Amino acid sequence: MKKIAVIGTGYVGLVSGTCFAEAGNQVTCCDINQSKISSLLQGIMPIYEPGLKELVQKNVERETLAFTTKIDEAVRAAEVVFIAVGTPMSATGEADLTYVKQAAETIGSNLNGYKVIVTKSTVPVGTGKLVESIIRKSAPKGQAFDIVSNPEFLREGAAIKDSMNMERAVIGATSDKAYEIIAELHIPFTSNIVKSSVESAELIKYAANAFLATKISFINDIANICERVGADVTKVSEGIGLDSRIGSKFLQAGVGFGGSCFPKDTSALLHIAQDSGYDFNLIKAVMETNEGQRAQVVEKIMAALGSLKGKTISVLGLAFKPDTDDVRFAPALDIIPQLKTLGAQVKAFDPIAIGEAKKQLGNQCDYSDDLYETIKHTDACIVLTDWKEVKGLDLVKVKRLLKRPVIVDGRNLFDLDEMHDLGYTYISMGRPA
Ligand code: NAD
Ligand code: UGA
């Protein structure tokens, strides 16, 4: 059992803090955001994540999990401090380390004995050294501590499952003592631990996300070729994915990747490479293909309807993926304003993410969590998120509700023959029309 402080109670800090508590540690999750902490103290989750509320409640009740804005106190009481603050994309495309530096200063000025300081946020190579120097400057002279890079690989929508059953943990530590402490914390979650230097651990995180993003852009490029030669990308994907050297995951063609991580992390990796004197052309192409996929959805609806002036379009899905309310870099945030610019009225459906989407899109569209109300009387429908509700659409009913039987499907959810038989103009991604 360890006393742990987690600085930053967002997706990563809240989920990993809760899972460390579930494993029997004494965890305090801290944040500078007073309203987030107040909500958590009232049992209200600031994010939607399956299974999170129950696990938080259980650990708060058995007093293994606490929430506070008093970061100083939490740091002083802890043996291990995790930094899990945001590292958003800066205006120039690099990772913005403002919050990481703030957290390091808070830790330094409250160092009152040996502690292991672990960076869980996704940070550029060299950040471990930066955190170490900030702490050294603000800490009492001679105070011992160690630095660890322990990147997080959870996926939103499956965060608890991923954290309780990790495929691997990566630990880059400045001492064997610190490595052993963090490795022991991971015993309940995985037996696969990759021990590395701090720098390698930092790069592993970006390499993993960039590789997954590359798989997606690769299959999207293949989808674009499919459209030109009359092939079906879902078959191509199946045909290559069964080769275990390739693997079937992350080969789903569509509107491209969104979310709080792939867009920002591919961009940050490009900058890390540039700063090291290397021109990472492959990752540039991955980012370019991804932008092109979003543009294609708008081109496809334009081609189907001729003009969007005076038309009403229903958009199904605001979250960047199912089972989350996260809309950061979601395709809908790009596509809805473009539809508006082209003269369309937009009605948008999402079962969970309307609140978050409204903060970004304001009154650019009408919102509803009723799928069929959204579709009713619209000229065409665009699928942007593969929510189970959308996958399970009653297509006969939808055809009756739509003014024209036009669906542009950015997620390839429906069967081509069935859509043809139902009389739809069904335009998907990388499949014959
Ligand atoms: P988030 O925006 O959801 O949460 C970050 C939290 O940190 C916020 O609540 C913010 O108020 C808090 N914060 C900022 N500065 C602080 C400070 N000085 N002291 C205390 N709290 C502070 O971010 P997130 O999605 O949890 O991501 C955190 C990091 O983890 C990022 O580097 C991200 O790239 C990485 N990551 C995210 C995911 C994911 O699925 N979201 C997965 C793996 C890795
Ligand atoms: C991703 C990684 O999968 C996590 O391992 C990582 O920890 C996380 O980023 C992070 O660093 O934050 P996440 O963004 O939650 O997780 O979601 P994914 O399931 O990876 O999906 C990312 C995007 O790719 C979504 O927009 C999804 O629709 C898209 N995608 C995914 C495809 O277009 N095709 C696919 O085959 C798979």
Ligand 2 center to 257 CA (angstroms): 7
- For ligand 2, what atom is nearest to the CA of residue 251? 36
Average pLDDT over residues 304-316: 97
For the CA of 259, the nearest ligand: 2
Which residues partner with 312 through β-bridges? 345
433 pLDDT more than 90 = no
328 lines ligand 2 (CB under 6 A): no
| Domain-embedded: residue 67 | yes
Do 236 and 187 fall within a single domain? no
252 lines ligand 2 (CB under 6 A): yes
| Domain-embedded: residue 224 | no
| Domain-embedded: residue 225 | no
Ligand 2 center to 116 CA (angstroms): 30
Q: What is the pLDDT of residues 94-106, one digit of tens each?
A: 999 999 999 999 9
Q: How many domains does the chain have?
A: 2
Q: Which of 19, 30, 226, 261 is catalytic?
A: 261
84 lines ligand 1 (CB under 6 A): yes
Q: What is the pLDDT of residues 237-295, one digit of tens each?
A: 999 999 999 999 999 999 999 999 999 999 999 999 999 999 999 999 999 999 999 99
For the CA of 29, the nearest ligand: 1
Do 238 and 157 fall within a single domain? no
pLDDT for 380? 98
Residue with CA nearest ligand 2 atom 29: 257
Ligand 2 center to 177 CA (angstroms): 34
Tell me if residue 227 falls in helix, strand or coil.
helix
Residue with CA nearest ligand 1 atom 22: 8
Residue with CA nearest ligand 2 atom 37: 250
Ligand 1 center to 14 CA (angstroms): 9
pLDDT for 281? 98
Do 369 and 316 fall within a single domain? yes
If one residue of 71, 152, 155 were mutated to test the ligand 1 pocket, choosing by the most ligand atoms within 8 A of its CB, it would be 152
DSSP 23: T
Q: What is the pLDDT of residues 378-408, one digit of tens each?
A: 999 999 999 999 999 999 999 999 999 999 9
**CA-to-CA separations, 261 to 60, 68, 94, 171, in angstroms, rounded:** 29, 26, 13, 20
Q: Which of 170, 196, 222 is the last residue of a domain?
A: 196
For the CA of 153, the nearest ligand: 2
Ligand 2 center to 411 CA (angstroms): 14
* Mean pLDDT (the chain, rounded): 97
Please answer whether residues 360 and 333 qualify as being in contact, where contact means their C-beta atoms are separated by less than 8 angstroms.
yes
DSSP 89: B
Q: What is the pLDDT of residues 35-63, one digit of tens each?
A: 999 999 999 999 999 999 999 999 999 99
| Domain-embedded: residue 19 | yes
Do 170 and 289 fall within a single domain? no
- Neighbour-count burial of 258, counting CB atoms closer than 10 A to its CB (0-12 exposed, 13-18 middle, 19+ buried): buried
pLDDT for 214? 98
Full residue range of the structural domain in which residue 174 is found? 3-196
Side-chain-side CA neighbours of residue 333 (13 Å): 21
Ligand 1 center to 85 CA (angstroms): 4
| Domain-embedded: residue 221 | no
- Neighbour-count burial of 381, counting CB atoms closer than 10 A to its CB (0-12 exposed, 13-18 middle, 19+ buried): buried
Do 16 and 73 fall within a single domain? yes
Do 299 and 343 fall within a single domain? yes
For the CA of 162, the nearest ligand: 2
Do 188 and 307 fall within a single domain? no
Please answer whether residues 262 and 212 qualify as being in contact, where contact means their C-beta atoms are separated by less than 8 angstroms.
yes
Do 162 and 257 fall within a single domain? no
Do 262 and 388 fall within a single domain? yes
Q: What is the pLDDT of residues 169-214, one digit of tens each?
A: 999 999 999 999 999 999 999 999 999 999 999 999 999 999 999 9
Do 68 and 175 fall within a single domain? yes
| Domain-embedded: residue 227 | no
Average pLDDT over residues 147-176: 97
320 pLDDT more than 90 = yes
347 pLDDT more than 90 = yes
261 catalytic, yes or no? yes
301: domain CATH number?
3.40.50.720
- For ligand 2, what atom is nearest to the CA of residue 261? 12
- For ligand 2, what atom is nearest to the CA of residue 156? 15
